[in-house]
């Protein structure tokens, strides 16, 4: 299985394009990973979202649900290598697609936007659903790149118990400037983005951040600034580029750090 997971993970990394780029077709589904799952539809304001529920029913269950908030490209199929490892560690896992991604309802996205604020509604709707479905569990969030901004702002609407993040978006404006300097892209911000950018200061739960030393957009310096805000935040810096934490550290080390962190939540 590990030999299979790495190529899938690398395909996910290669799909990151610094712009909103949904993929409708699922090239990867839980059954291809040997994972039993339930597919449900979750209605939120203005959208109908596709959700996969993957439950750990073993004696090793941690009584915690991990909701995965994906990045700005692909669909939730690309998060399955992470879901597989979390399930093996005893966590229940919920993945979802933002509107316009995967089999979620249609949405006219703007590819030059850094994100859409509607994605925050999607995240909070799925989070509320997850907390109801796994009513006795605590809830953690695993977020990637754009998903870190979504999860930060979403916390203000629906709280959760812990946040694990990679490629953290601290300053949307800085990310736009850096992206332009890096490849000439002129990305845009939605109205109200300032409230989302400020939300990270209000998160009052333990946080574990994975930061790439060579990330030129969601920088290690930004990650260190986020961790320095409060005492219940931890940082793991790895040698590599954006969203390559599991590939650079190795699956075993990456998830050992996550499990150790969640053990104290």
The number of distinct structural domains making up the chain is 1
CA distance 213 to 209: 12
Span 220-251, pLDDT tens digits? 999 999 999 999 999 999 999 999 999 999 99
Query: CATH number of the domain that 14 lies in?
Result: 3.40.50.1820
Q: How far is CA 88 from CA 3, 139, 259, in A?
A: 16, 17, 11
Range of the domain at 126: 2-263
pTM: 0.94
Span 170-184, pLDDT tens digits? 999 999 999 999 989
Among 10-14, 46-50, 211-215, 234-238, name the one with the lowest average pLDDT.
Answer: 10-14
SS3 112: coil
């Amino acid at each position: 299985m590990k030999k299979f997971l790495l190529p899938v993970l690398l395909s996910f990394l290669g799909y990151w394009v610094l712009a909103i780029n949904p993929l409708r077709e699922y090239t990867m589904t839980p059954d291809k990973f040997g994972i039993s799952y339930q597919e449900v539809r979750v209605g939120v304001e203005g959208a109908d979202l596709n959700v996969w529920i993957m439950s750990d029913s073993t004696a090793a269950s941690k009584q915690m649900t991990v909701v995965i908030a994906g990045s700005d490209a692909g669909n939730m199929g690309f998060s399955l290598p992470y879901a597989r490892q979390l399930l093996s560690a005893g966590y229940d896992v919920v993945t979802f697609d933002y509107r316009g991604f995967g089999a979620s309802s249609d949405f006219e996205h703007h590819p030059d936007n850094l994100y859409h604020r509607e994605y925050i509604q999607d995240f909070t709707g799925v989070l509320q659903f997850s907390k109801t479905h796994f009513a006795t569990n605590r809830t953690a969030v695993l977020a990637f790149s754009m998903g870190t901004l979504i999860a930060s702002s979403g916390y203000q609407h629906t709280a959760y118990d812990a946040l694990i993040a990679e490629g953290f978006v601290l300053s949307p404006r800085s990310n736009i400037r850096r992206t332009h300097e890096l490849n000439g892209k002129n990305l845009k911000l939605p109205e109200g983005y300032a409230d989302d950018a400020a939300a990270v200061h209000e998160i009052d739960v333990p946080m574990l951040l994975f930061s790439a030393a060579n990330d030129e957009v969601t920088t290690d310096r930004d990650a260190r600034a986020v961790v320095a805000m409060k005492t219940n935040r931890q940082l793991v810096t790895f040698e590599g580029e954006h969203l390559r934490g599991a590939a650079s550290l190795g699956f075993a080390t990456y998830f050992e750090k996550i499990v150790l962190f969640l053990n104290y939540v």
